[in-house]
C-alpha cells in the first residue's frame, strides 16, 4: 500500500501541466488516434495548461493583495481563515487514505461509463482532489476506510451526473464540443445556483435585464471590449483596496491582461482536445454505437469567456461585504476569492452569459457557502494540521472551495450521522 501511495503522489507532484498530457496521450491511443497526432495533441494541451496556470497566477497575485487590503481597510474581524483550494487539496492529499482513492475512482468512472450511468469520462485527474477530500473528511469523522471510499465514490457520481446535466450548456455557451466540467466546486455551486438563477428569471422586471459581454461591447463599442472591462474592474478593486495610483493602475492593467490572455490560452488547449474528441466519435461510429462520450475537463477553461471572468471579479468585493454582515458567519474570505469565476461557470453558461443574473445568483450561493464553511471549520482544520502552516491569528481554517461546497457539506453531515452509529 505504501508503494502505491508513493507512485500516486509522485505522479501528482508533477502537476496538471505534466500529468494531464500523459493521461491525454493514453486516452488518445485508446480512442485509436495515431501516435504522432496523439503526442502532438497531448503536448498542445500541456502547453495550454501552462498558459492557463500562468494567467490564473496573474489573476490570483492581483486579486489576493487587493482582497487583503480591503480586509484591513474596512476592519473585518473574522476568526476562520479561508486558506483556498490549494491548501485544501494539500490537506486532502496528505491523508493516509488518499493514495488508494485515485485508482479506485478512475476504475469507477470507467465502469459507470461502460454501463451507461454517465456519459462523462473525467480525464482531469488533478481535480480528483475534490473526491479525495470527500473521502478524507469521511475518514477523519468515522475512521472507517470503507465508508470513506464510499463517500469519495458518491461524490464522483454526483460530479459526473451534474457534468452530464450541464454538458449542453458548457458546449453551447463556451463552444467546447464534446467537453463538460466534472469539477467538484463548480458542480456543487451549479447544483444550487442553476435553480436559483431560474427563479430569478421569473421575477418581473429582473427577468427583463440581460447584460452580457456582447451587449456591453455593443453599447460601449471599443470600451466594452474584454480588455477594457477587465481594466475597469481592476481599477475599482484597486480603489476599494485603497491602493496608491501606481498600484491601482498596475492592478487595472493586469486584470485587463487576464481578460485578453485567458481566451487565447483556452483556445490553445482546445486545439489539443479536438483530435481526442474526434477520435472518440469515430471509434463509436465504427462500432455502430449511438452513444455519446463527454471528456471531463477543468472548469478553469470557462474563464476564457469574458462574462464568466467579469461575474467572478465583480463578486470579490460583494463576497467580502456579505462575510462582514452575515449573521453566524465567521469565515474571512481570502484564498478562494480569485477562483470565484470557476464556481459561477455553470450558472453563467445556463443563463447564456447574463452577468446581472449570474452575479445575483453568485451572491446568494456564496451566502450559503460562507455559513457552510463556518460549520465545516472544525473538521477542515483537523484535515489541514501538518499540511500547511497556519496563518497568524487564525484559530480555525476553512475554504469556500471545500468547506463552502454543498456536496462536501452534505457528505460531512452524513459522515457525522454515521459516526454516531459506528
Coil, helix or strand at residue 122: strand
Locate all alpha helices (DSSP H) within 287-343, ordered by sequence. 306-325, 340-343
Specify whether the CB–CB gap between 305 and 270 falls below 8 A. Answer: no
For the residues of 364-382, what is the DSSP string, one character each? Answer: HHHHHHHHHHHHHHHHHHH
How far is the C-alpha of 281 from the C-alpha of 178, rounded, in Å? 9
In total, the chain counts a number of residues equal to 422
331-332 and 294-296 strand pairing: unpaired
d(CA 405, CA 407): 6
Rounded (5°) CA angle 294-308-380: 80
Instruction: Give Cβ neighbours of residue 35 (< 8 Å, ≥ 6 apart).
Output: 29
Q: Which class for 217: exposed (0-12), middle (13-18), buried (19 or more C-beta within 10 A)?
A: middle
Helix/strand/coil for 296:
strand
Backbone angles phi, psi at 179, to 5 degrees: -115, 150
pLDDT (tens digit, 0 to 9) for every residue of the chain, 422 residues total? Answer: 555 556 655 666 666 667 778 877 887 888 788 888 888 888 888 888 788 778 878 887 888 788 888 878 877 778 888 888 878 888 887 777 777 888 899 899 989 998 999 999 898 877 888 999 999 999 999 999 999 999 999 999 999 999 999 999 999 999 988 899 999 999 999 999 999 999 999 999 888 888 888 887 777 676 667 788 888 888 988 998 899 999 999 999 998 888 888 878 878 877 877 787 777 777 766 766 677 889 898 888 888 889 998 999 899 999 988 998 999 999 988 888 888 999 999 999 999 999 999 999 999 999 999 999 999 999 998 888 766 666 555 578 899 999 999 999 999 999 999 988 87
Q: Is the CB of residue 97 less than 8 Å from the CB of residue 138?
A: no
Backbone angles phi, psi at 296, to 5 degrees: -80, 120
Of 405, 346, 415, nearest to 130 by C-alpha is 405
The DSSP code for 389 is P
Q: Distance (Å, rounded) from C-alpha 263 to C-alpha 181?
A: 17
Q: Where are the domains of the chain?
A: 2-52+64-419
Amino acid at each position: 500500500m505504501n508503494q502505491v501511495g508513493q507512485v500516486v503522489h509522485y505522479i501528482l507532484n508533477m502537476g496538471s501541466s505534466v500529468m494531464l498530457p500523459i493521461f491525454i496521450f493514453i486516452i488518445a491511443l485508446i480512442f485509436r488516434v495515431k501516435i504522432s497526432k496523439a503526442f502532438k495533441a497531448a503536448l498542445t494541451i500541456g502547453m495550454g495548461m501552462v498558459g492557463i496556470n500562468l494567467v490564473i497566477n496573474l489573476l490570483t497575485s492581483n486579486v489576493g493583495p487587493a482582497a487583503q487590503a480591503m480586509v484591513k481597510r474596512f476592519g473585518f474581524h473574522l476568526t476562520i481563515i479561508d486558506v483556498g483550494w490549494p491548501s485544501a487539496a494539500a490537506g486532502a492529499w496528505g491523508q493516509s487514505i488518499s493514495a488508494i482513492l485515485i485508482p479506485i475512482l478512475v476504475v469507477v468512472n470507467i465502469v459507470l461509463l461502460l454501463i451507461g450511468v454517465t456519459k462523462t469520462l473525467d480525464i482531469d485527474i488533478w481535480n480528483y482532489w475534490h473526491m479525495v477530500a470527500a473521502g478524507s473528511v469521511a475518514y477523519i469523522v468515522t475512521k472507517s476506510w470503507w465508508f470513506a471510499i464510499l463517500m469519495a465514490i458518491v461524490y464522483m457520481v454526483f460530479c459526473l451526473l451534474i457534468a452530464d446535466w450541464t454538458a449542453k450548456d458548457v458546449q453551447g455557451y463556451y463552444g467546447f464540443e464534446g467537453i463538460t466540467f466534472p469539477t467538484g466546486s463548480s458542480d456543487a455551486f451549479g447544483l444550487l445556483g442553476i435553480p436559483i438563477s431560474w427563479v430569478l428569471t421569473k421575477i418581473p422586471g429582473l427577468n427583463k435585464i440581460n447584460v452580457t459581454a456582447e451587449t456591453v461591447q455593443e453599447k460601449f463599442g471599443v470600451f466594452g471590449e474584454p480588455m477594457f472591462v477587465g481594466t475597469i474592474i481592476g481599477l475599482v478593486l484597486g480603489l476599494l483596496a485603497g491602493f496608491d495610483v501606481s498600484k491601482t493602475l498596475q492592478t487595472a492593467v493586469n486584470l485587463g491582461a487576464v481578460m485578453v490572455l485567458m481566451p487565447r490560452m483556452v483556445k490553445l488547449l482546445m486545439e489539443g482536445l479536438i483530435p481526442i474528441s474526434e477520435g472518440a466519435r469515430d471509434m463509436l461510429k465504427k462500432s455502430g454505437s449511438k452513444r455519446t462520450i463527454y471528456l471531463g475537463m477543468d472548469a478553469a477553461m470557462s474563464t476564457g469567456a469574458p462574462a464568466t471572468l467579469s461575474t467572478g471579479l465583480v463578486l470579490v468585493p460583494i463576497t467580502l461585504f456579505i462575510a462582514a454582515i452575515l449573521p453566524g458567519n465567521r469565515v474571512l474570505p481570502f484564498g478562494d476569492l480569485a477562483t470565484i469565476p470557476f464556481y459561477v461557470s455553470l450558472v453563467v453558461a445556463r443563463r447564456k452569459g447574463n452577468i446581472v443574473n449570474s452575479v445575483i445568483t453568485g451572491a446568494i450561493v456564496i451566502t450559503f457557502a460562507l455559513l457552510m464553511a463556518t460549520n465545516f471549520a472544525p473538521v477542515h482544520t483537523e484535515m489541514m494540521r501538518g499540511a500547511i502552516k497556519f496563518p497568524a491569528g487564525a484559530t480555525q481554517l476553512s475554504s469556500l472551495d471545500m468547506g463552502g461546497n454543498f456536496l462536501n457539506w452534505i457528505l460531512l453531515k452524513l459522515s457525522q450521522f454515521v459516526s454516531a452509529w459506528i
